[in-house]
Amino acid sequence: MFLRKVCYHARMKNMPQPIEDDDLDDALAMDAERAEAAEDDAVELLSSTAVLPDEARGMRLDQAIAQAFPDYSRSRLTAWLKDGKISVNGVTCVPQRTPVEGGEVVELLVEPERQTEAAPENIPLNVVYSDEHIIVINKPAGLVVHPGAGNATGTLMNALLFHFPELRQLPRAGIVHRLDKDTSGLLVIARSLPAHKTLIEALSDRDMHREYMAVAQGLLVAGGMVDLPIGRHPRERTRMAVTESGREAITHYRVAEKFRQHTLLRVQLETGRTHQIRVHMSHIKLPLVGDPDYGGRLRLPKGASVELVETLRGFRRQALHAARLELEHPATGELMAWEAPIPEDMQVLILLLREDLRLNPHAH
């Protein structure tokens, strides 16, 4: 057994709250002050000590340290060892290939460097849950998760860095998975390096469960599974497609409610490929309502009301919502779950489809 003592010391000011002020100049000034303060505050010192056991004798130092500090990735620990942030019996910069004798006292003392360069922005967030390890966000449709081509600002990452400045110390501000811009729903954010590592591993091991609600065009008798690889479209590089050269992608779906020409689906991801649900549903001829890339031809129920027709034609995003998130807490191991209600635009669509079926029970 490794003898370990782990301490986390944080210096944080009160968490900034969204500004609700009619005076735009004052609001911008306050934002600037908070962004500047975020540069200096919320520095978290990581301190941890372990005694390497006799069983580690003959093992390479970097391998033994990786076992002694399982909360951190081996690559990160090796970098800290090279940078002199890990000492062995009081000596820093010990070569990583040094053989272990057993009994060495290894001390880790790190002030994490800034990992994220995006600027903090005062964008309101719907925080469903937060503690010192994780944050769960209910993302609205229309919000990009992290900066990229054409979206340098105004993203979830920018918002996170404003409300939780300490996230600048984590890769991608603690974001471990993503939702498409126009997909709404739940996302978990890591708030510490150990939590970041654990959540990444949970996603890789498929131990994080995500359930989506989707309105698809078309009818089906029962649910099923799509197990088809997804990769870049061979001609349109901004799109994804089912392709033999793609990566494994598995999607489970079941019927939640049937309408005349549409189906409300519960969808679970076993893997997490880009656009996975949208691509798989389109491939099996059940494209999502409103999907601008994979939705295909608009399908209108015969004799549908003007309101339903207008709603279907005006639905400008994929009807997809991450409704449930379930995971083991990265620090306590407790099984936790959160649910986010279906947003208003999808609720209106579902109610109109339900009313259309009521008024036309035998027409398809």
Residues serving a catalytic function are 180
- The three state secondary structure string of the chain is CCEEEEEEEEECCCCCCCCCCCCHHHHHHHHHHHHHHHHHCCEEEEEEEEECCHHHCCCEHHHHHHHHCCCCCHHHHHHHHHCCCEEECCEECCCCCCECCCCCEEEEEECCCCCCCCCCCCCCCCEEEECCCEEEEEECCCCCCCCECCECCCCHHHHHHHHCHHHHHCHHHHECCCCCCCCEEEEEEECCHHHHHHHHHHHHCCCCEEEEEEEEECCCCCCEEEECCEEECCCCCCCEEECCCCECCEEEEEEEEECCCEEEEEEEECCCCCCHHHHHHHHCCCCECCCCCCCCCCCCCCCCCHHHHHHHHHCCCCCEEEEEEEEECCCCCCEEEEECCCCHHHHHHHHHHHHHHHHCCCCC
